[in-house]
């Protein structure tokens, strides 16, 4: 609420009795007697908020790095994607699309929502059932009936939501906004430097300038650290995006979009798990339309980071072939 230049000049030039001024004007007139008062106040505000802002930014970049680790290191996430692709392959065993190249992650997630002939069951339902059965077979627990038997496997699958907790947090962030915050802090350091240079024009305030010189060193170090965190986080994001999207990663306009896709997929997965848990044994029969014979080959998901795929898969063909079978 600093006064404008015109208001400042009027207050400075006022020579009448102070009793004729309001309380606000009296206060501002006293403040204006302090050399460079508002520039110094801005510097003090910057210093007061600096630590909290640095801590916030560093936590954000650490969360992004953790999201990269969780996404790449989650075996369950890869298993579900592989199961979705296998279900799609089984539907296309009579086509030429038998060895698909690595596809963008969001394309595979679109497949997960493709509905079957009943208009309700999706490829993701089939994938969830497949993994749940696999986990149930490995379980040592003895179930009284099939529905109870299936609960262990569904619990394992639904655990992906908590396993990718950092991914969901990173999906709410905007890397450009974070970058802007860091740049704003850098600009503030420049203002601190310019305020310190005003000491030669001030007869008082030695303690203020001494404190600001000490703070300036801390601020410069903090900016270097957060810039390093930002650079490291961006490298990890590029790595994980290339891992799932291959060459298509260069086309991404939103650096953190991969986390948004994964978050949306987890939300769909949670819904499917709830639906499967609520269905009775009749669901097992409805899922048979997705199954293939034991002799049918099931190509696994080929990730760029694992098998060096070239990322040139035709996504439109991939979706069109699947649609033709429904």
Counting as low any pLDDT under 70, the low residues of the chain are: 88-103, 116-119, 136-151, 247-252, 279-326
What percentage of the chain reaches a pLDDT higher than 70? 71
Q: Look at residue 41 and tell me if it is in a domain.
A: no
b (16+ CB within 10 A) / e for 238-247: eebbbbbbbe
Q: Look at residue 13 and tell me if it is in a domain.
A: no
Tell me the chain's radius of gyration from C-alpha atoms.
30
- Widest Cα–Cα separation across the chain: 101
Q: Look at residue 83 and tell me if it is in a domain.
A: yes
Q: Look at residue 224 and tell me if it is in a domain.
A: yes
pLDDT confidence of residue 300: 39
Q: Look at residue 129 and tell me if it is in a domain.
A: yes
Q: Look at residue 136 and tell me if it is in a domain.
A: yes
Q: Look at residue 1 and tell me if it is in a domain.
A: no
Tens digit of pLDDT for each residue in 117-153? Answer: 666 777 787 778 777 777 766 655 544 444 455 567 7
pLDDT confidence of residue 187: 93
* Residue range of the domain that includes 123: 49-91+101-287
pLDDT confidence of residue 234: 93
3-class DSSP state of 302: coil
pLDDT confidence of residue 150: 58
Give the count of domains, the chain. Answer: 1
CATH value at residue 155: 1.20.58.2220
Tokens encoding 61:
């970049």
Tens digit of pLDDT for each residue in 142-196? Answer: 444 444 555 677 777 878 888 899 999 999 999 999 999 999 999 999 999 999 9
Q: Look at residue 182 and tell me if it is in a domain.
A: yes
pLDDT confidence of residue 36: 87
Spatial separation of the C-alpha atoms in residues 303 and 297, rounded to whole Å: 18
């Amino acid at each position: 609420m600093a006064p404008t230049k015109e208001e400042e000049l009027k207050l400075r030039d006022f020579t009448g009795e102070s009793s004729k001024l309001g309380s606000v004007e009296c206060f501002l007139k006293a403040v204006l007697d302090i050399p460079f008062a508002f520039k110094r106040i801005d510097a003090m505000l910057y210093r007061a908020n600096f630590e909290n802002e640095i801590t916030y930014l560093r936590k954000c970049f650490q969360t992004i790095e953790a999201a990269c680790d969780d996404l790449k290191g989650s075996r369950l996430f890869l298993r579900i994607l592989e199961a979705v692709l296998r279900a799609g392959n089984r539907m296309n065993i009579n086509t030429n699309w038998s060895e698909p190249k690595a596809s963008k992650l969001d394309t595979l997630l679109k497949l997960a929502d493709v509905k079957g002939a009943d208009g309700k069951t999706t490829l993701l339902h089939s994938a969830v059932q497949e993994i749940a059965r696999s986990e149930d077979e490995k379980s040592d627990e003895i179930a009284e009936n099939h529905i109870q038997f299936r609960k262990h496997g569904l619990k394992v699958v639904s655990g992906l939501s908590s396993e990718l907790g950092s991914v969901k947090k990173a999906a709410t962030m905007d890397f450009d906004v974070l970058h802007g915050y860091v740049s704003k802090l850098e600009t503030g350091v420049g203002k601190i430097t310019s305020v310190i240079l005003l000491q030669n024009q001030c007869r008082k305030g030695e303690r203020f300038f001494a404190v600001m010189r000490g703070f300036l060193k801390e601020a410069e170090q903090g900016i270097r650290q957060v810039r390093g965190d930002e650079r490291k986080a961006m490298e990890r994001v590029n790595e994980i995006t290339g891992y799932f999207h291959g060459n298509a990663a260069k086309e991404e306009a939103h650096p953190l979009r991969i986390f948004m896709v994964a978050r949306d997929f987890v939300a769909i997965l949670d819904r499917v798990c709830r639906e499967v848990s609520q269905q009775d044994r009749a669901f097992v029969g409805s899922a048979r339309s997705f199954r293939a014979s034991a002799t049918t080959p099931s190509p696994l998901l080929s990730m760029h980071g694992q098998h060096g795929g070239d990322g040139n898969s035709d996504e439109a063909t991939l979706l069109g072939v699947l649609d033709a079978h429904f």
